[in-house]
Amino acid sequence: MLKTSKFGEYKTENDIDVYINNTDKFKTNYIHIDIIRPLSNEKEVSQNALIPYILYRGSQKYPTNQSISHRLDDLYGADLNVSVARRGENQLLRFSVEVINDKYVEAKESLIKKAIDFLYELIFRPLVEKGDFKEEYINKGQSFLKEKILSLKNDKGSYVIERCYQEMCRGEDFSLYTLGTISGLEQSRQDNLYQYWQDILIESPIELFVIGDIGDSDGLYKYINQKFTDHRDKKLPLNNTFIKTKDFKLKELEEEDEITQSRFCAGIRIPITRSHPLYFALIVYNGMLGGFSHSKLFTTVREKRGLAYYINTRLESTKGLILINAGIDMVDYPIVKEIIEEKIEEMQNGEFEEENIEWSKKKLINRYKTLSDNNHSIVDAFLLGLINGKKDSLNYVINSIKQVKREDIIKVANQVNLTTYYLLRPGSA
Amino acid sequence: MIYKNFSNIGEEYYEKKLDSGLNVVLIPREKFNKKHAILSVDVGSVDLKIKDNEENVYEYPKGIAHFMEHILFENREGSIIDKFSQIGSSVNAYTGFNNTNYYFNTTSNFFNSLKYLFGFVLNPHFDDERIKHEKSVINQEINMYQDSPSWQSFYQLLQSLFYEYPIKYNIAGTQKSIEKINKKTLIDFFEKLYNLNNMTLIVIGAVQPDKLFNWLEKEKNITKQGNKKFVLEKIYPKEPNGIRLEEKDIAMSISRPIISLGYKENRCFQNKDKIIKQDLMTNMILEMIFGKSSDHYHALYNQDLIDENFSFNYMREKNTGFAKIYAETNSVDKTISGITDIINNWEREINSEDFEVVKHKYIGRYFRSLNSFETLSSQIMKYLNLDQNYLDIIQMIKDISLKEVREQYKNLLEEKEHVKIIIRTVHK
């Protein structure tokens, strides 16, 4: 029997979407807010990324980082998370707090309501001095974000993936790094950031999620509705993604760095995203090509040839991108490229075992069922559905995966365009 | 069979040692789709020397436990991964300092997956060509870690803290050490250490206790191994007190310097119940000194010496323990002296109010850890090895006294001797 629970959907009077999932599965209650912006230009992306890192330094009620920490301590060591993410050509400004379920502690007042109050204070009641965010916090936020942008190169795996995205989507908004750029960050001080933040809060979609042992969902919604009363006039859409369908050319690039292992990334474009009828065939295709350890690429490159410790594919399902990435020995690069092209072609010609389809489907179904066992994954998956205008139930997803046919997979395979090869190899940086 | 109901955290616990020697733990989770099982073998990267009951001593090349983990994934019937894929389950493994763990996650086919799990871990097939192949895969794995600054800073810290204790070696070994591994060494290592008396199975998920234990009593892979009993003793080199190297300065292609400071525990309790306590207490002390609510964190933070990447923890391992403090900074010397000054002067300040706050924080963190099956099973295993139960930890936290904490602080930090690892950026 499938154990699944659903979000109750609400909307506050000032147009904030509220989703409440009432379940006693977890030991904690999780509150998560996404503010969604179009991934537009260097300056704005950098400004958007900067503000969350200013906000968590102090609010009107909790004016210092230390008083914020003390507040979290009071809430039984609540976990505050502030981050910035990219889904398609949308930038998500994310704020979340996770607290212990009330029934496990001797709390006088509901921890979940206190956590909601706390997030509200942080986002809607920031510390303002002379009409802008506190100068010191802006400076701190800027230097922290600058280091964060620069530190991308410390993790070679992530660096290569980001560089590949940049090159394959050059000229498109998707090539903007989630956290912005150094030059964008330098321009960010031209505006009054506090005013800019007020505009964001007024015009952007705001999605608020609560998962946990809530008891009375309607009551909690009422509480949220009474709390989040700031004036809003939502103007922006949930999704701002452009999907490229033609004019593909293969581009090859190499860079050097002082490293031991070469890392490569191959970029594939495919004009199929979550709302497309072939979407479920696409996720099966991705699993068969390189998404799973029984996939064509993993079995050939690692199991048969011993050329890599890791090789995998990842799907960006809002923009329609597949990346293949691996850590290899530089001398093997031509062989690995050859294998990739061969496997892509085999998929196009329908040269794949029935087993590969079946196993991939089973693993996908396993993965989707498991997803509902993790409160953070539930939010992530649901949000991707919202952005793409497809709030599919778990049962619908599972049935759709089961119904994917061989022909559908071949159809997907023939819409695949290999556009980019990127290699980071040992040398002088 | 041991049954415990931890109603304060909403968990139940079953444990039974089977006739074959295998120890089994079940934590039922009726509301979840996911079922998780992990078979933990009591041998890790530090176990390089063993003695049998006839006083014969056997030595193995560095990286052998990890190599075994890799090689078991292929046997006579072909790829193990494929067998699990066939029934929609995912299988994986990892090697730690003290154990090697094989696990799967599934939503259906739990017992088939469990059968496969025992099947591949207990029925190896060592083939020369496969061994050669796995060496090249592991070499790529070793190379991958070489380029990771956080891994390097940890590895260099262990190298400098320890003279002899094998925790200082890379879990995967080196390209040179794994060259020494062959069919004979693997067969020998397997026969001696892959014994049911040396293994624990942990199951988390919607699995009925009766069904699980009945199934286990009948599973031939487990019953047939029942009689093979070795009495083995693991031998570790004697580790002198004090640190091996005071400072190590290396360069990597990174955006700004990384420092890590290490303090070695010179008084490790050997009583199992004290080990966990020592681990908890020391982590609490560090939290009081350097946690995000502390004055020290904010002083360092406001001087731009540390930022959100700052972290610390204390690891209490078998026979040893050490504290590690990590920071990314553009002012290497100032940050190091800022941190060491605090440690040198801190002890007068422990107050009972901070101590209560830290206890709350730990309880919050603990409940979050219970949400993840993988975290839960690895913690259960760690505590089990020390005859403790992870589900009982709240009581343990409540029982710790301020006096004990003050004493532990002196033990760890009175020598003031520490290791400095500095990773600088390469010059362009």
Show the 3-state SS of A117-146.
HHHHHHHHCECEECCEECHHHHHHHHHHHH
Beta strands in B362-418 (DSSP E): none
pLDDT digits (tens, 9 = 90+) for B124-154: 999 999 999 999 999 999 999 999 999 999 9
Is B253 in the same domain as B230?
A: no
User: Is B240 among the domain residues?
Assistant: no
Number of residues assigned to chain B: 428
Q: Are strands A251-257 and A417-426 parallel, antiparallel or unpaired?
A: parallel
A99 close to B (CB below 8 A): yes
Q: Quote the minimal CA–CA distance from A227 to chain B in Å.
A: 26
Is B148 in the same domain as B31?
A: yes
Q: Which residues of A touch B143 (CB under 8 A)?
A: 260-261, 327, 329
Q: Quote the minimal CA–CA distance from B335 to chain A in Å.
A: 16
User: Is B241 among the domain residues?
Assistant: no
How many contacts (CB atoms, under 8 Å) link A and B? 175
Q: Quote the minimal CA–CA distance from A71 to chain B in Å.
A: 9
Is B135 in the same domain as B283?
A: no
Q: Which of A373, A357, A369 is nearest to A280 (CA)?
A: A357
Q: What percent of chain B has pLDDT over 90?
A: 72
Nearest to A153 among B137, B255, B370 (CB): B255
Question: What per-residue string of b and e applies to A205-234 under the rule 16 or more CB within 10 Å gives b?
Answer: bbbbbbbbbbeebeebbebbbebbeeebee
Q: Quote the minimal CA–CA distance from B302 to chain A in Å.
A: 9
Q: Which residues of B touch A52 (CB under 8 A)?
A: none
Contact between chains at B138 and A76 (C-beta distance less than 8 A): no
**Hey, of A21, A66, A375, which one would you mutate to test binding to chain B, going by the most B CBs within 10 A of its CB?**
A66
Q: Which residues of B touch A64 (CB under 8 A)?
A: 298
User: Is B239 among the domain residues?
Assistant: no
A150 close to B (CB below 8 A): yes
Instruction: Write out residues 67-126 of B within 8 Å (CB-CB) of A.
Output: 74, 79, 81-82, 85-90, 105-108
Range of the domain at B395: 247-425
Confidence of residue B428 (pLDDT cuts 50, 70, 90): low
Q: Which residues of A touch B307 (CB under 8 A)?
A: 144, 147
How far is the C-alpha of B65 from the C-alpha of B86, rounded, in Å? 28
Contact between chains at A77 and B360 (C-beta distance less than 8 A): yes
Nearest to A28 among B143, B298, B371 (CB): B371
Provide block-wise average pLDDT over 10 residues at a time, chain A (429 residues). 78 97 94 97 96 96 94 93 97 97 82 96 97 95 95 95 96 96 91 96 98 94 97 94 90 95 96 95 98 95 92 96 96 97 98 96 95 94 93 92 98 97 90
How far is the C-alpha of B22 from the C-alpha of A72, rounded, in Å? 43
Is B208 in the same domain as B284?
A: no
Confidence check: pLDDT of B231 > 80: no
Is B305 in the same domain as B359?
A: yes
A27 close to B (CB below 8 A): yes
How far is the C-alpha of A313 from the C-alpha of A45, rounded, in Å? 27
Is B78 in the same domain as B125?
A: yes
Is B179 in the same domain as B265?
A: no
Confidence check: pLDDT of B414 > 90: no
| pTM recorded for the entire structure | 0.94
Q: Which pLDDT score, from 0 to 100, does residue B376 have?
A: 97
pLDDT digits (tens, 9 = 90+) for B255-295: 999 999 999 987 776 777 788 888 899 899 899 999 998 99
Q: Which pLDDT score, from 0 to 100, does residue B348 have?
A: 62
Nearest to A28 among B86, B134, B368 (CB): B368
Contact between chains at A105 and B106 (C-beta distance less than 8 A): no
Contact B99, B44 (CB under 8 A): yes
Of the residues B213, B234, B255, which one is the last residue of a structural domain?
A: B234
CATH code for the domain in which residue B390 is found: 3.30.830.10
pLDDT digits (tens, 9 = 90+) for B70-113: 999 988 777 899 999 999 999 999 999 999 999 999 998 999 99
Confidence check: pLDDT of B227 > 50: no
The pair of three-digit structure tokens given for residue B377, joined into one six-digit string: 């099973």
Q: Which of B385, B286, B415, B391 is nearest to B3 (CA)?
A: B391
Is B252 in the same domain as B392?
A: yes
A399 close to B (CB below 8 A): no
Look up the CATH number of domain A251-426. Answer: 3.30.830.10
Instruction: Write out residues 170-229 of B within 8 Å (CB-CB) of A.
Output: none
Contact between chains at A293 and B81 (C-beta distance less than 8 A): yes
Contact A57, A122 (CB under 8 A): no
Q: Which pLDDT score, from 0 to 100, does residue B256 have?
A: 95
A355 close to B (CB below 8 A): yes
Domain residue spans of chain A: 7-227, 251-426
Is B13 in the same domain as B153?
A: yes
Contact between chains at B360 and A73 (C-beta distance less than 8 A): yes
Is B227 in the same domain as B319?
A: no
Q: Quote the minimal CA–CA distance from B311 to chain A in Å.
A: 15
Confidence of residue B413 (pLDDT cuts 50, 70, 90): low
Q: Which residues of A touch B252 (CB under 8 A)?
A: 258
Mean pLDDT of B175-186: 96
Q: Quote the minimal CA–CA distance from B298 to chain A in Å.
A: 7
Look up the CATH number of domain A7-227. Answer: 3.30.830.10
A124 close to B (CB below 8 A): no
Domain tally, chain B: 2
DSSP state of B7: T
How far is the C-alpha of A238 from the C-alpha of B168, rounded, in Å? 51
Q: For all residues of chain B together, what is the average pLDDT?
A: 91
Contact between chains at B143 and A154 (C-beta distance less than 8 A): no
Is B115 in the same domain as B218?
A: yes
Instruction: Write out residues 15-34 of B within 8 Å (CB-CB) of A.
Output: 31-34
State ipTM.
Answer: 0.91
